[in-house]
Amino acid sequence: MSYQTLGIWIGALFTLCILSFLYKDNPFYKFAEHVFVGISAGYGVALQFHNVFLPNLWRPLMAGNLLMIIPLIMGGLLFTRFFASISWLSRWSIGMLIGIYSGIAIIGFGSGDLVLQIHGNLLPLWGTGLFTALNNWILTVGLIACLVYFFFSKEHKGSFGVVARIGIYFLMISFGASFGYTVMSRMSLLIGRFYYLYGDWLGILPQ
Amino acid sequence: MRKFLEIINTLDRRWIFVFIGLAVSLPLFFPIGIKFSVSHPVQGFYDTIEKIPDGSKILMSCDFDPGSMPELYPMTITALEQMFRKDLKVIITCLWPAGPPLVERALAHVGAEYNKQKGIDYVHLGFKEGKEVVMVSMGASIPNTFPTDYHGTPVSEIPIMQGVTNYREVAMIVNISAGYPGTKEWVQQVQSRYQIGLVAGCTAVSAPEFYPYYQTGQLKGLMGGMKGAAEYEKLVGVMGLGTRGMDAQSVSHLMVFAFILIGNLAYFTLKFMKRKESG
Amino acid sequence: MRKEIPLLITFLAGAFFIADYFIPHTGFSSWAETLNGWTIIVIAFAYVLGVANVARVNLDYIQRKGKDTPYKIILLVCLLFMMMVGIIWGIGEHTVFDWFFINIYSPMQAMMFALLAFYIASAAFRAFRIRSVQASLLAITAVLVMIGRVPIGEAIWKDFSNFSEWIMNVPQLAGKRAILIGAALGAISTGLKVLVGLERTHLGQD
Model pLDDT for residues B60-108, shown as the tens digit of each residue? 999 999 999 999 999 999 999 999 999 999 999 999 999 999 999 999 9
How many structural domains does chain A have?
A: 1
pLDDT for residue C206: 59
What b/e sequence results for A113-140 when a residue is b if at least 16 CB atoms lie within 10 Å of its CB, and e otherwise? bbebbeebbeeeeeeeeeeeeebbebbe
Give start and end residues of each alpha helix (H) in A24-129: 27-48, 59-62, 69-78, 90-107, 116-120
- A189: which chain B residues are within 8 Å (Cβ-Cβ)? 67-68, 70-71
Mutate to test the interface with A, among B62, B185, B195, B203 (most CBs of A within 10 A): B203
Alpha helices (H) along A79-203: 90-107, 116-120, 130-149, 158-195
Query: What is the SS3 assignment for A38?
Result: helix
Phi, psi of B89 (to 5 degrees): -95, 120
Nearest residue in A to B101, CA atom: A47
Q: How confident is the model at residue A50, as a pLDDT?
A: 95
In this structure, the answer to whether residues B206 and B270 fall within a common structural domain is: no
pLDDT of residue B188: 96
- Put simply, the answer to whether B249 touches A48 (Cβ < 8 Å) is no
Residues of chain A with pLDDT > 90, as a percent, come to 92
Q: Is the peptide bond before B181 cis (omega within 30 degrees of 0)?
A: yes
**pLDDT, tens only, B238-258:** 999 999 999 999 999 999 999
> Hey, are the CB atoms on C6 and A91 less than 8 Å from each other?
yes
CA distance A162 to A142: 13
Q: Chain C contacts of B108, Cβ < 8 Å? A: 93
DSSP letter at B39 equals P
On chain A, the residues whose CB falls within 8 A of the CB of B98 are 40, 43
Encode pLDDT of B27-53 as tens digits. Answer: 999 999 899 999 999 999 999 999 999
Assess A97–C contact: CB distance below 8 Å, yes or no.
yes
Asked if A57 contacts A71 with a C-beta cutoff of 8 angstroms, the reply is yes
For A193, name the nearest residue in chain C, comparing CA atoms only: C111
Chain B: residue nearest C146 by CA?
B253
Whether chain A has a CB inside 8 Å of the CB on B150: the answer is yes
What is the domain range of residue B164? 40-239
- Please check whether residues B272 and B165 belong to one and the same domain: no
Q: State the Cα torsion B98-B100-B105-B106 to the nearest 10°.
A: 100
Q: Report helix, strand or coil for B127.
A: strand
In B, which residues are within 8 Å of A135 by CB distance?
none
Q: How far is B245 from chain A (nearest CA, A)?
A: 6
Is residue B199 pLDDT above 70, yes or no?
yes
User: Does one domain contain both B49 and B111?
Assistant: yes
Task: Name the residue among C118, C128, C176 with its Cβ closest to that of B20.
Answer: C118
Instruction: Give contacts of C55 with chain A, Cβ < 8 Å.
Output: 41
Kindly state whether residues B86 and B12 are assigned to the same domain.
no
Number of H helices, E strands in chain C: 9, 0
- Is the CB of C152 less than 8 angstroms away from the CB of B251? yes
Which of C36, C40, C83, C120 to substitute to test the interface with B, most B CBs within 10 Å?
A: C36
Is residue A22 assigned to a domain?
Answer: no
Region B111-136: mean pLDDT is 95
Domain span at residue A203 reads 126-207
Which of C118, C175, C181 faces A114 most closely, judged by CB atoms?
C181
pLDDT digits (tens, 9 = 90+) for A94-141: 999 999 999 999 999 999 899 999 999 999 999 889 999 999 999 999
- Position C1 scores a pLDDT of 76
Q: Which of A166-170, B6-10, B155-159, C177-181 has the lowest mean pLDDT?
A: B6-10
Q: Any CB–CB contact under 8 A between A15 and chain C?
A: yes
Q: Which chain B residues are closer than 8 Å to A111 by Cβ? A: 188, 192-193
Say whether both B20 and B80 belong to one domain: no
Nearest residue to C146 (alpha-carbon basis) of B259, B232, A135, B69: B259
Q: Which residues of A touch B193 (CB under 8 A)?
A: 107, 111
Taking Cα atoms as reference points, which of A180, C139, A171, A179 lies closest to residue B264?
A: C139
Which residues, including other chains, have CB under 8 Å from residue C122's CB and lie 6 or more apart? Answer: B13, B16, B17
Is residue B53 domain-shared with residue B120, that is, in the same domain?
yes
CB B69 within 8 A of CB A192: yes
Nearest chain C alpha carbon to A6: C103
> For A52, which of B128, B225, B248 is closest by C-beta distance?
B128
| pLDDT above 90 for B274 | no
Check whether residue B116 and residue B11 sit in a common domain: no
> Taking the CB of residue A191, how many other CB atoms lie within 10 A of it?
28
Q: Is 80 exceeded by the pLDDT of residue A1?
A: no
Per-residue model confidence (pLDDT) at position C29: 84
Average pLDDT over residues B166-184: 96
Contacts of B67 in chain C (CB under 8 A): 109-110, 112-113
Q: Does the beta-carbon distance from C82 to A43 stay under 8 Å?
A: yes
Q: Considering only alpha carbons, which residue of chain A is nearest residue B213?
A: A117
Shared domain for B22 and B141, answered yes or no, is: no
Please indicate if any CB of chain C lies within 8 Å of the CB of A13.
Answer: no
User: For position A149, what pLDDT does the model report?
Assistant: 96
Nearest-CA distance from B16 to chain C in Å? 6
On whether both B216 and B130 belong to a single domain, the answer is yes
**pLDDT score at A62:** 95
In a domain, B35, yes or no: no
Q: List all chains that touch chain B, counting a touch as 3 or more CB pairs closer than 8 Å.
A: A, C
- Residue B142 shares a structural domain with residue B234: yes
Residues of A in contact with C196 (CB under 8 A): none
State the pLDDT confidence band at A206, using cuts at 50, 70 and 90.
confident
Interface test with B, best of A191, A195, A200 (most B CBs within 10 A): A191
Strand partners of residue B148: B154
Q: What is the pLDDT of residues A70-91, one digit of tens each?
A: 999 999 999 999 998 999 999 9
Which pLDDT does position C205 carry in this prediction?
Answer: 66
| Residues of chain A neighbouring B177 (CB-CB closer than 8 A) | none
Tens of pLDDT along chain C (206 residues) come to 788 899 999 999 999 999 999 987 777 888 889 999 999 999 999 999 999 999 999 999 999 999 999 999 999 999 999 999 999 999 988 899 999 999 999 999 999 999 999 999 999 998 888 889 999 999 999 999 999 999 999 999 999 999 999 999 999 999 999 999 999 999 999 999 999 999 888 877 65
Count contacts between A and C (CB, < 8 Å): 382
- CB-based contact, B257 to chain C, within 8 Å: yes
The mean pLDDT of A28-53, rounded to a whole number, is: 96
The confidence score (pLDDT) of residue C93 equals 84
Interface subset of B 190-249, CB within 8 angstroms of C: 193, 208-209, 211-212, 215, 227, 246-247, 249
**B248 with A191: Cβ contact below 8 A:** yes
Amino acid residing at C48: V
Q: Is residue B178 part of a domain?
A: yes
- B220: in domain: yes
Residue B93 and residue B227 in one domain? yes
What CA–CA distance (Å, rounded) separates B266 from B184?
41
* Structural domains in chain B (count): 2
Does this model's pTM top 0.90? yes
B128–A56 CB contact, under 8 Å = yes
Q: Does residue A90 lie within any of the structural domains? A: no
B149 and B132 share one domain? yes
Does residue A86 lie in a domain region? no
